[in-house]
Amino acid sequence: MKLKGLFSTAVAVLCGLVVLAGYFVRLDILVNASNTLITWAILLTAFAILLGIINLLIVHVGKITRKQKGGFYSIILIFAMLATFAIGLLAPHFPPASPAFDFAFRAVQLPVEASLMALLAVTLTYASIRLPRRRLSVFSVIFIITGLLVLLGTAPLPFLGDTPLVSDTLRPTIAQVLAASGARGILIGVALGALATGLRVLFGADRPYGGK
Amino acid sequence: MADVHCPMCGKPNPEEQDSCQFCGARLKPLTGATPVDSQPIRAGEKPTKRPTSEFEKVKPADEGPIHAGEEPTRKNTGELERSLPSWLKSLRKGEEPPQAESPADASPDLNLPAESQPTPSAESSAESLDWLAGLGSAAAEDEEEVPDWMAGLRGASAPGLEPEAPTPAEPEQAQPEQDWMSRLGGEAGQPPADSPEQTVESAPDWLSRLSQEAEKPQPAETAEAPAGEPQEEPAAPEENLPDWLDALKSKSTVSEEPSPGSGNDLPDWLSGTPVAPAETDAAAAPVFTSEPPPARDAPTEVPDWLSQLQSDVRAASDAEEQAEEFEPAAGPFPADKSGEPIPDWLSRVDQTAPPAASAPALVMSDEGESPVEPSQAAFSLETPDWLSKLRPDRSAETQGSPEEEAEPENLETADLPSWVQAMRPVESVISETGPSAPDDAGATEDSGPLAGLRGVLPSNPGLGTMRKPPAYAIKLQVSDNQQRYAAHLEKMVLEEGRARGLTPARLTSNRVWRWIISIILIAAVLLPLVSGRQFTPDMKLLPSEWSNTSTVLNEFPADAPILLVFDYDPALSGELEASAAPVIDHVLFLGARLGLVSTAPTGPALAEQFLESTQPYHLETGLQYTNLGYLAGGPAGILSFATDPVAAARLTVDGDPAWETTALQGVSKLSDFAAVIILTDNADNGRIWIEQTRAFIGETPILMIISAQAEPMIRPYDDSGQIQGMVTGLVGGKTYEQSYAAPGLARRYWDSFGLGALAAEIMIAVGGVLGAIMAWRARKQAGEEA
């Protein structure tokens, strides 16, 4: 291991130990050091988002200059991004820009994303109809029956309200027992994985920051 | 200074030379003859076993048995020089240099039978001449340059046989001591008296002369017998006699007038031998007989065994001519390829003799029959070492010769002398010492490429027991499944080569179905909104988590700071607004102050939009809230905010100091909030908020307003008590709104939600069943087509 890798590993291990110690030992020096390190991490994350935006801009500018397919949409994207960015920068300091910024969000972004979610409802319905025809198997039948029971137990029937035996028994059993059991298993796995990853980073076994 | 003649090229060399200056051959042998080899075997003596290691020393390294079909290789016989017996060496040292008489010149004069095939009638003679046969065969097959000493030996015996005076002595006139010779010839079935001329013609004179010289001490007796014979035969011109023969004549007192060719036949070293009468008797007698000297009354007679030899040769030649049609494979030795002249006497003698392997030269059987005894007597002579050294070559070469095929099978087994046994092939020794093989195992192939080989093929046809081969049905055994598979395969192959017509594409594509589904769903959702009617009754079964949330909110003190976390995407804002609206309305009616924060970039805008769309009443009446904006860093940002909220979010979205606003007065840390209400559609965001704030939040309750899709992942935290209340989706919002008794957004969505879900359920159920039926029919049809 070179000196550079050794130094980076030592820095990473030290930062992790300090933040970890800040959880358990409430010393001011440790808490301040931990908060400082966390703040640095937040700044780096925010800057990473900015770098991502700049990278997206460069990619689409490249598509326009190379006259690739879909270049027109790249022009719209760049224009919208730069306009929104400019309005966002001006909004805190220029009051007339604030309503424009709100309008851009409420009139464009919010309806677009909601519409995409509505399309998802149509797509899921269509996929559920096509599933038995495309792949008729036991698991396909189970999947469809489960979906129908959850929908039937969740949504009230017109003029009937709750569906007996489904709304009070089947639907809660599926959602709170079967699904929750699977979710617990997933969460335990995630926790163990995070623990193992953290320990490996602390011990220097994993070096996602570089070095071998 | 005396010269030493090279044994290889015959040229004289100075005595001090170790090797020939002309050909490089060694003049002085490195080792002399072994004492064991020099011991003669006399008649009546039991042969003793001798170690074959001595023979191996002389034997060339590359020497090996020659099998049938192999080409003989040239052999250097120079190494055999050192194995010459002392008596022969002494003779050679005393000989005169050869008189430029090459073996090629002398060989044509030989009058020995040109060809002969071993026949059963010539068995005994063949046996007796086996040791010579090896010599002749070696010379004929090798076709190498014969050393002078060998050439001199041949030259002494070859020429002048025809004109030599015949020896009319009949077998009856021979001495009793010489009966072995006559009996030897008698075994061939042709008495020598029947063909005296043949005997005279074919007998080598040098042998007869040697016998005459051996009788020199009795000149009176030896002069009688041949007296009249030379007169009948045409005398050879005396001008052919060399000087050394003249000198020999002068020294001989009883010798007859020599035959014309006798002087040319005898080499100098042999002619010089009888010059000394006293020594010649002592030296020559042991050469040919170990018995007391035979009768000396017929010194000029050709020995009977030699005359018998000629008769055998004639008989064998006749028998060969008659047996050609029976022995097509038998022929002359295959050593005539190099074209070098081969002495006829050697080739004839050798061809006359049967193969050594099949008919041992010395039959030492004690229980041998009477005809064998003369041969024993004949070979009780001292065997020259050089001949014994030559024997392995001959035996090896004749082992695979075609003549072996003509070996008669009725020859009795005889005991071999040790020196012959030592020369026998290893295979024969092994066959004798090993367990007796079956009689049919030693069958000799008499034709084909394996001719001459013994025991190669089994005597019985086939390698195993004879068994009738099982009968196999020619008809192919095919099962029904195999026939069906074959039919399918044939059908597939035929279909591949058949042109298919273009079928018109179906107009009902997926896009149409999607439009149909979309229209149905939109219609179901818009119907309650457009009609204004209530299609679904209120819920009768309230979720269990609703009561916990309501209880926590009711315990809030008035004017308590509440932290609202907007961590959802705009796509799910409709669900979450409908779910959170009754809860936030409840909180605002309690007089709580709100602090808004988000870990999503769109969160602050969503928070503003949420309050404006769902809480217009509270905004108009002086709602106090502070929008802290966006928390960057994800989990780190949440941790930072949980650790020190003042440091993590110093300003509002408008740029004002956040913690100096009315809504956040008295709040410096996370635990100062009366409650933390998290609105999220992502289970991971909810999990991170719970986990990162747990260590800093103290006794502050956490309430979760989540989307229905995040319920399975968040519910474990609710069940474990890490969160104090949870409102899930539109159902939770409708429940909270229904219990709050103020119809709102959830109520408006409830009918649309119910009708849309019902429409989706119907379409999925019907479509699923139809799809399953179609798939089943397609499978069935495919199975039928297959």
Q: Where are the domains of chain B?
A: 44-434, 510-530+761-785, 544-742
Cross-strand partners of B705: B679, B727
Residue A136, pLDDT above cutoff 80: yes
Confidence of residue A149 (pLDDT cuts 50, 70, 90): confident
CA distance B170 to B180: 14
CB contact under 8 A, A35 and B768: no
Q: Which of A31, A36, A39 has the highest number of chain B CBs within 10 A, making it the mutation to test binding with B?
A: A39
Whether A106 and chain B come into contact, CB under 8 Å, resolves to yes
pLDDT digit string, tens, across residues B38-70: 455 556 666 666 555 544 444 444 445 555 555
Helices and strands per DSSP (H, E), number in chain A: 8, 0
Q: Using N-to-C axis directions, what is the helix angle for B304-322 and B179-186, rounded to 10°?
A: 10
Whether A168 and chain B come into contact, CB under 8 Å, resolves to yes
Of B572, B609, B639, which is closest to A38 when you measure between CB atoms? Answer: B639
pLDDT digit string, tens, across residues B225-278: 444 444 444 444 444 555 565 555 555 444 444 444 444 455 555 544 444 444
Task: Output the pLDDT for position B489.
Answer: 92
ipTM confidence score: 0.83
Burial of B60 (0-12, 13-18, 19+ CB in 10 A): middle
Q: Using N-to-C axis directions, what is the helix angle for A97-104 and B603-614, rounded to 10°?
A: 90
Nearest of B518, B521, B534, B569 to residue B749 by alpha carbon: B534
Q: Domain-by-domain residue ranges, chain A? A: 97-134, 138-200
Whether A161 and chain B come into contact, CB under 8 Å, resolves to yes
Compute the nearest-CA separation of B725 from chain A (Å): 15
CB contact under 8 A, B518 and A136: no
Between residues A127 and B25, which one has the greater pLDDT?
A127
Whether A108 and chain B come into contact, CB under 8 Å, resolves to no
Q: Which of A126, A162, A171 has the highest number of chain B CBs within 10 A, making it the mutation to test binding with B?
A: A126
Task: Output the pLDDT for position B703.
Answer: 92
pLDDT digit string, tens, across residues B728-786: 888 888 888 887 767 788 888 888 888 898 999 999 999 889 888 888 888 888 888 77
Task: Output the pLDDT for position B245.
Answer: 58
Provide the 3-class DSSP secondary structure of residue A49.
Answer: helix
Q: Are strands B702-706 and B725-728 parallel, antiparallel or unpaired?
A: parallel
Residue B325, pLDDT above cutoff 50: no
pLDDT digit string, tens, across residues B277-296: 444 444 444 444 444 444 44
Q: Using N-to-C axis directions, what is the helix angle for B344-352 and B304-322, rounded to 10°?
A: 70
Of B643, B647, B774, which is closest to A133 when you measure between CB atoms? Answer: B774
Whether A26 and chain B come into contact, CB under 8 Å, resolves to no
> Using an 8 Å Cβ cutoff, are B157 and B345 in contact?
yes
Of A147, A161, A179, which is closest to B764 when you measure between CB atoms? Answer: A147
Averaged confidence pLDDT in chain B:
66
Neighbours of B759 (CB within 10 A): 19
Q: Looking at chain B, how many residues does it have?
A: 786
Residue A32, pLDDT above cutoff 60: yes
Residue A55, pLDDT above cutoff 90: yes
- Which of B174-178, B431-435, B540-544 is the least confident region? B174-178
Q: Which residues touch A23 (CB under 8 Å, ≥6 apart)?
A: A34, B695
CA distance B200 to B223: 17
Q: What type of residue is B503?
A: T
Between residues B360 and B527, which one has the greater pLDDT?
B527
Task: Output the pLDDT for position B316.
Answer: 60
Which positions 50-89 of A are in contact with B (Cβ < 8 Å)? none
Which CATH fold topology does B544-742 show?
Answer: Rossmann fold (3.40.50)
CA distance B561 to B669: 12
pLDDT digit string, tens, across residues B88-132: 666 655 554 444 444 444 444 444 444 444 444 444 444 444 455
Between residues B607 and B368, which one has the greater pLDDT?
B607
Task: Output the pLDDT for position B149.
Answer: 57
Q: What is the mean pLDDT of residues B518-547?
A: 82
**Rounded to an integer, what is the distance from CA B597 to the centroid of its chain?**
81
Residue B715, pLDDT above cutoff 70: yes
Q: Using N-to-C axis directions, what is the helix angle for B385-399 and B130-142, rounded to 10°?
A: 70
Provide the 3-class DSSP secondary structure of residue B756.
Answer: helix
Q: What type of residue is B184?
A: L
Between residues B191 and B443, which one has the greater pLDDT?
B443
Between residues A99 and B309, which one has the greater pLDDT?
A99
Which positions 131-150 of A are in contact with B (Cβ < 8 Å)? 131-134, 136, 141, 144, 147-148
